[in-house]
């Protein structure tokens, strides 16, 4: 029993060490920018991306590229908040309306994907373009705005509470439900899963619905920060998707050591550290995505179980043992 606990503790420490080491490196490289309390700000900034990434992770785990997640957020905010405003509702109705609208959009994207039977990258890009057009046409193309009192959803207590709730929902769905079991089975081998009687189409549609649900929570908190949501066209919503997928890549790379859901938050913190570090050391923020992509490609390569990487690790281990001797 003690060995099992020690093994789990070791894996958790290794997973947490990724952002911790990165923070220490940035602290040494830019001590003035990385103040003692800056880590709390970075953790706070990582919460919203983690919420969206938890939803996207359910699709990515199946090997589906959900490029419509960002458009799902924007369109859900514009339609949901717009409907709530016209009903004369308060902040609670606006938040509920956004979540319901985003979830409905996620369901429609999932049904379109399974009906037209084309690769996810094609169907979701198509859905993204349609959703961006819908958001640009809704309410005369002016987007949506809410009263300043809606800023309550940007308070630290609300954001932290919502993040914890979303984390618990994601963990329960992924680790404790029949859908979560089926998801892992389909992700492991889709043909074997079908032979076992798993409805693969249903699993995929539920994954899209979950993307919509978490997009809704993300949209509620995002609107609380800006009070305004303008429509986005020409694939402008892709940036949100890119960040969410990067978080999943980190989580997938360390999933053997820690639960995927916890790994997603570690990925979100890692991505935010890289972005903050780019600015802290004086590099233009325009290189954020490029820096994140390069860093995560290196990280994923190091974490890979491929033959060349296993041989490299073995050689390094032998060299280290010899140097100690």
Which of 230, 224, 210, 231 shows the shortest CA–CA distance to 92?
Answer: 224
Residues 218, 48 contacting (CB under 8 angstroms): yes
Full DSSP string of 237-303: THHHHHHHHHHHHHHHHTTTTS-HHHHHHHHHHHHHHHHHHHHHTT--GGGHHHHHHHHHHHHHHHH
98-142 confidence digits (pLDDT tens): 999 999 999 999 999 999 989 999 999 999 999 999 999 999 888
Confidence category of residue 4, pLDDT binned at 50, 70, 90: confident
Residues 238, 73 contacting (CB under 8 angstroms): no
**Domains along the sequence of the chain with CATH:** 46-324 (1.10.3470)
Q: What gap in Å lies between CA 271 and CA 289, rounded to an integer?
A: 9
Q: What gap in Å lies between CA 310 and CA 141, rounded to an integer?
A: 54
Q: Is the pTM of this model over 0.75?
A: yes
The per-residue pLDDT for 162 is: 96
**Cβ-based neighbour number of residue 183 at 10 Å:** 24
Residues 103, 221 contacting (CB under 8 angstroms): no
Which of 57, 72, 304, 66 shows the shortest CA–CA distance to 183?
Answer: 57
Which of 37, 62, 71, 101 shows the shortest CA–CA distance to 237?
Answer: 71
219-271 confidence digits (pLDDT tens): 999 999 999 999 988 888 888 888 898 899 889 888 888 899 999 999 999 88
User: Judging by beta carbons within 10 Å of its beta carbon (0-12, 13-18, 19+), is residue 312 exposed, middle or buried?
Assistant: middle
268-304 confidence digits (pLDDT tens): 998 888 888 777 777 666 666 676 667 666 666 665 5
Confidence category of residue 321, pLDDT binned at 50, 70, 90: low
């Amino acid at each position: 029993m003690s060995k099992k606990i020690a093994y789990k503790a070791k894996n958790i420490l290794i997973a947490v060490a990724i952002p911790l080491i990165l923070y220490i490196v940035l602290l040494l490289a830019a001590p003035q920018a990385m103040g003692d309390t800056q880590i709390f700000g970075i953790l706070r900034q990582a919460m919203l991306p983690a919420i969206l990434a938890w939803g996207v992770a359910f699709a990515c785990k199946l090997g589906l590229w959900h490029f419509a997640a960002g458009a799902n957020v924007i369109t859900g905010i514009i339609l949901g908040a717009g409907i709530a405003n016209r009903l004369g509702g308060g902040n609670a109705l606006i938040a509920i309306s956004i979540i319901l609208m985003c979830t409905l959009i996620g369901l429609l994207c999932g049904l379109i994907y399974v009906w037209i039977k084309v690769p996810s990258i094609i169907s979701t890009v198509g859905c993204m373009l349609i959703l961006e057009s819908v958001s640009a046409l809704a309410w005369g193309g002016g987007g949506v705005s809410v009263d300043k009192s809606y800023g309550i959803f940007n308070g630290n207590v609300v954001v932290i509470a919502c993040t914890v709730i979303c984390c618990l929902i994601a963990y329960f769905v992924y680790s404790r439900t029949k859908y979560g079991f089926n998801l892992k089975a389909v992700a492991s081998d889709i043909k074997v899963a079908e032979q076992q009687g798993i409805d693969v189409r249903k699993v995929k549609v539920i994954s899209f619905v979950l993307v919509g649900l978490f997009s809704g929570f993300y949209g509620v908190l995002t609107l609380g920060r800006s009070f305004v949501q303008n429509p986005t066209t020409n694939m402008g919503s892709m940036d949100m998707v890119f960040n969410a997928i990067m978080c999943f890549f980190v989580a997938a790379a360390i999933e053997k050591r820690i639960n995927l859901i916890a790994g997603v938050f570690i990925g979100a913190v890692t991505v935010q550290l890289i972005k903050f570090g780019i600015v802290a050391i004086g590099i233009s923020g325009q290189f954020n995505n490029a820096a994140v992509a390069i860093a995560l490609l290196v990280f994923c390569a190091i974490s890979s179980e491929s033959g060349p990487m296993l041989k490299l690790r073995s050689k390094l281990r032998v060299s280290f043992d010899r140097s100690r001797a």
